[in-house]
Amino acid sequence: MSTIYAATQPELRGRHWGFFCPTLLGTYPTVDRTPIKHRLINDPFTRKRPSAIVSVTAHWEQAETTVSTCPAPPLLFDYDGFPPESYQLTYPAPGHPQLAKRITQLLRDAGLPNSQDSCRGYDHGTFVPLKVMFPEADVPVVQVSLVDSLDPERHIQVGQALAPLGAENVLLVASGSSFHNLQVFMRSMRNPGSEVKEKDQMQ
């Protein structure tokens, strides 16, 4: 029995650190009981099952917008110093070369320089949130890089160029954060209140 889903997909913007925490603490299976998954699974954009996903990941920067065309992307464990189980994750979602071509055409039509990468695997900015959102890994995914200048206007233009994909039942996911200081975060987890003490000492 098949399920019919609405054709229009919204854009999703969010951090992936919260998804990663259970994995880092060695408690990934318990994520099924967390409020964050409950919200994702019950939100409209996940009830409207997408035909494909475009992941604009903060962990991939190139000189120009680059689109992954790999049909079977591996995982890139682009982090270090974490528990062994965080390096044993799997997420065998297929790539989507045809959608990648569609993306490059949209960027080209918008006058935005772009290139393709046939080898790029899924970094944790992609596979960590998608492993929670779509654990079956049965929705094709195309990764799109940031431009290494990090120019806000350029990335707004990229978003505008890709916006028509939402009407084609493609879910657009922007995964990242405006800051990324894991050392401070992990130190505060090991020693709660340490950051407050440091600030008090500075005053």
Question: Are the C-beta atoms of residues 11 and 162 closer than 8 Å to each other?
Answer: no
Please give the chain's pLDDT, 203 residues, in tens.
223 333 455 555 444 444 455 444 444 444 444 555 555 554 555 567 899 999 999 889 999 999 999 999 999 987 777 778 878 889 999 999 999 999 999 999 999 999 999 999 999 889 888 888 888 999 999 999 999 999 999 999 999 999 999 999 999 988 766 555 556 555 654 555 544 444 445 44
The domain spans of the chain are: 3-189
CA distance 103 to 158: 10
Position 75 scores a pLDDT of 95
Return the sign of the alpha-carbon dihedral for residues 93, 95, 96, 101.
positive
Position 30 scores a pLDDT of 45
Look at residues 106, 122, 113, 114 and name the one whose alpha carbon lies nearest to residue 70. Answer: 122
Question: Are the C-beta atoms of residues 67 and 103 closer than 8 Å to each other?
Answer: yes
Position 87 scores a pLDDT of 85
Q: In the structure encoding, which two tokens stand for residue 65, read together?
A: 């917008």
Q: Which residues pair with 146 in a beta bridge?
A: 61
Return the sign of the alpha-carbon dihedral for residues 21, 25, 28, 34.
negative
CA distance 158 to 87: 32
CATH classification code of 3-189: 3.40.830.10
Position 25 scores a pLDDT of 45
pTM: 0.74
